[in-house]
Amino acid sequence: MGFSSIRTCGACGTQNRVTAKHLSDTGRCGFCKASLPPQAEPINADDYSFDEIVRNARVPVLVDFWAAWCGPCQAAAAEVQAVAKAMAGRALVLKVDTQAYPALANRFRVQGIPNFAVLVNGEVVFQQPGLVGRDQMQNWLETAGRSAAGVR
């Protein structure tokens, strides 16, 4: 079985399984049929979930490459969280712990953290190391979303 996220229904508390393809969608609770909002939190990705989410994403994906020992990464965490919430339904946000998943970091040639990448249709459209604010991250995603809309 592929990657899925658990989204708890705000109306009845039922836990609903959401596949990678539908993370950015507004769904319905399988029990009470109430609306389930799109993913609005960063997803901690591993090697497997990363590839499945990126492959199935219908919206731009912001990837935050970070490590627990990195002070600037810790400072970026609240900004990344805010972007995930602000862009829910229009983008997905993944966090990749470079200590736990160095192969992913190597694949994206991450040499310094924090490092941010934006992917559209599985391809990197922007990448930048260093601490940036939520406005910049959101701008990247909005620009990538507009570009992707023109391509599709």
* Predicted structure pTM score: 0.93
Residue 32: how many other CB atoms lie within 10 Å: 11
Peptide bond preceding 114 in cis form (omega within 30 of 0): yes
Q: What per-residue confidence (pLDDT) applies to 28? A: 96
Name the H helices within the chain.
47-56, 71-86, 102-107, 134-151
For residue 132, how far is the Cα from the chain centroid?
Answer: 16
What the chain holds in terms of domains, given with CATH numbers, is 4-36 (2.30.30), 43-151 (3.40.30.10)
Known catalytic residue: 29?
A: no
For 48-99, the pLDDT digits (tens) are: 999 999 999 999 999 999 999 999 999 999 999 999 999 999 999 999 999 9
Known catalytic residue: 12?
A: no
List the strands of the sheet with 61-66, edge to edge. 43-44, 92-97, 61-66, 115-120, 123-129
| Res. 148 pLDDT band, cuts 50 70 90 | confident
Q: What is the DSSP letter of 28?
A: E
Q: What per-residue confidence (pLDDT) applies to 150? A: 65
Output the six-digit token pair for 59.
């919206």
Q: What is the mean pLDDT of the chain?
A: 94
